[in-house]
């Protein structure tokens, strides 16, 4: 009896001694499994080392869990490889050109106005205009195909929900809707912080922006080695004739005048403001109209992929203000002139003016009184910089408006950041 007890005790002691070793080994195995899973399924930004092992891109693509493409999606991807148009008219780009990226969805009436304004921009013929489309719409294409004032390249987001009629990232029949209970309804999806399931039309905006950023900086033959700045505008922005020349001055002045500025902007961060008209430059909070930055800044943003992709807000700009910029550790300022060089004219918001609803420009036209002073560069390089501190707006701590809770959207977003890093 006693002997058995003693033996058992011995076993127990041995087992206890053994336990930490077993736990550590198991922990190690789990960690390894976890890391491998992250690398193969989630393609987080940490997996750079792992992906370097991969020999080529098509191999890497198989490792990334991008959605299964439709024939149409593949065609769009192929079309993105086509060279820019108008090479016959503009065979070369100016040595220190600022590339312009215009990202659009489906508001042809707006796009006509934006393109018409671009046609009058002084210096536009020195640069490349990239039009990035969320979805494929003939009327939008026609407008872009009509451009003759500069080199122009069209790209189409191949994973846009708009080009997947019955599968993710579009709507799939098994998806949960609105406030469905996934277990009760046996449907697919993770609700956002407010209990709502994904809406493909709404998540497409943030996906497009992130796909476009990654593609333009790191994926396109025409721009992946571009060493200068890139200007980003949207289909509901009216661009003044002096925008390009002003931007050239601002980006050149930035290193001396505002070394802590991350970007240069065409317009004030308050979209209703038109500028102060002072004799000075202004450094202020990063805005979302006509923002322009370089690859150094893009690399910083790309490092915050996790923050961008997991923040539960379907707006790319609010995501940037509430998570990405605050994570840089210091306030993110942008440099601009005292008079705006771009105006945001989209009044219709997200749900109107898209697709089925009629676009809502007053009387079918926007009327901007561009004054004489705004037709030529109007920034003086002798001006001092006035800094606007502590402006109101979204900042760290804001929890997000939701709409971005589905794990599949998080993963697609992470994958976009890995696409060109193998
Ligand atoms: C890239 O990888 C794919 C899949 O592993 C392979 O079929 C292809 O031959 C590779 N291409 C090159 C250029 O190594
Ligand atoms: C660009 O346009 C200007 C007029 O605005 C013209 O003087 C110049 O020659 C054009 N350059 C090219 C490369 O077409
Ligand atoms: C890009 O801009 C940042 C911020 O203005 C600046 O610190 C950096 O030196 C610039 N990088 C290059 C390569 O010009």
Q: Tens digit of pLDDT for each residue in 123-148?
A: 999 999 999 999 999 999 999 999 99
**Closest ligand 3 atom to Cα of 255:** 5
Minimal-distance CA residue to ligand 1 atom 13: 56
Pocket of ligand 3 (CB under 6 A): 254, 261-262, 294, 296-297
Ligand with an atom nearest the CA of residue 299: 3
pLDDT at 24: 67
333-391 pLDDT, tens digit each? 999 999 999 999 886 544 444 443 344 455 456 667 789 999 999 999 999 999 999 99
Separation of alpha carbons 99 and 116, rounded Å: 18
Residue 344 known to bind ligand: yes
Return the DSSP state at 327.
G
> What separation in angstroms does the CA of 122 have from each of 158, 245, 250?
33, 7, 15
**Closest ligand 1 atom to Cα of 62:** 4
The pTM of this model reads 0.83
240-277 pLDDT, tens digit each? 999 999 999 999 999 999 999 999 999 999 998 999 99
Residue 208 known to bind ligand: no
Pocket test for ligand 1, best of 55, 57, 62, 63 (most atoms within 8 A of CB): 55
Burial of residue 91 (CB within 10 Å: 0-12, 13-18, 19+) is exposed
Fold classification of 69-418 is Spore Coat Polysaccharide Biosynthesis Protein SpsA; Chain A (3.90.550)
pLDDT at 30: 63
> What separation in angstroms does the CA of 76 have from each of 58, 185, 410?
17, 35, 23
């Amino acid at each position: 009896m006693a002997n058995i007890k003693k033996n058992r005790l011995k076993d127990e002691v041995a087992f206890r001694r053994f336990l930490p070793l077993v736990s550590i080994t198991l922990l190690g195995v789990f960690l390894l499994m976890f890391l491998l899973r992250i690398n193969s399924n989630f393609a987080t930004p940490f997996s750079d080392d792992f992906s370097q092992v991969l020999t080529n891109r098509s191999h890497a693509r198989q490792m990334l869990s991008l959605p299964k493409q439709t024939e149409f999606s593949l065609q769009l991807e192929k079309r993105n490889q086509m060279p820019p148009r108008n090479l016959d008219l503009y065979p070369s780009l100016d040595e220190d050109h600022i590339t312009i990226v215009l990202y659009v969805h489906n508001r042809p009436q707006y796009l006509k106005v934006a393109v018409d304004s671009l046609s009058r921009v002084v210096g536009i013929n020195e640069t490349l205009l990239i039009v990035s489309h969320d979805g494929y719409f003939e009327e939008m294409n026609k407008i872009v195909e009509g451009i003759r004032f500069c080199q122009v390249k069209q790209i189409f987001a191949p994973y846009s929900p708009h080009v997947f009629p019955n599968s993710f990232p579009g709507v799939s029949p098994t998806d949960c809707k609105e406030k469905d209970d996934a277990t009760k309804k046996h449907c697919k999806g993770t609700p956002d912080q407010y209990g709502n399931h994904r809406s493909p039309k709404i998540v497409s905006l943030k996906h497009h922006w992130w796909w476009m950023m990654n593609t333009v900086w790191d994926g396109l033959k025409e721009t992946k080695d571009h060493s200068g700045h890139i200007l980003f505008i949207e289909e509901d922005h009216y661009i003044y004739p002096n925008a390009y020349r002003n931007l050239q001055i601002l980006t050149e002045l930035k290193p001396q005048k505002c070394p802590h500025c991350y970007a240069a902007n065409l317009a004030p961060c308050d979209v209703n403001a038109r500028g102060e008209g002072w004799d000075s430059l202004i450094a202020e909070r990063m805005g979302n109209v006509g923002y322009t930055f370089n690859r150094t800044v893009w690399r910083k943003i790309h490092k915050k992929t996790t923050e961008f992709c997991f923040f539960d807000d379907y707006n790319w700009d609010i995501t940037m203000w509430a998570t990405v910029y605050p994570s840089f550790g210091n306030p993110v300022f942008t440099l601009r002139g005292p008079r705006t060089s771009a105006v945001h004219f989209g009044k219709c918001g997200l749900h109107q003016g898209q697709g089925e609803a009629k676009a809502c420009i007053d009387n079918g036209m926007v009327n901007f009184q561009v004054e004489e002073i705004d037709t030529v560069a109007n920034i003086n390089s002798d001006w001092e910089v006035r800094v606007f501190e502590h402006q109101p707006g979204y900042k760290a701590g804001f929890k997000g408006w939701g709409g971005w809770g589905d794990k599949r959207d998080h993963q697609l977003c992470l994958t976009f950041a890995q696409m060109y890093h193998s």
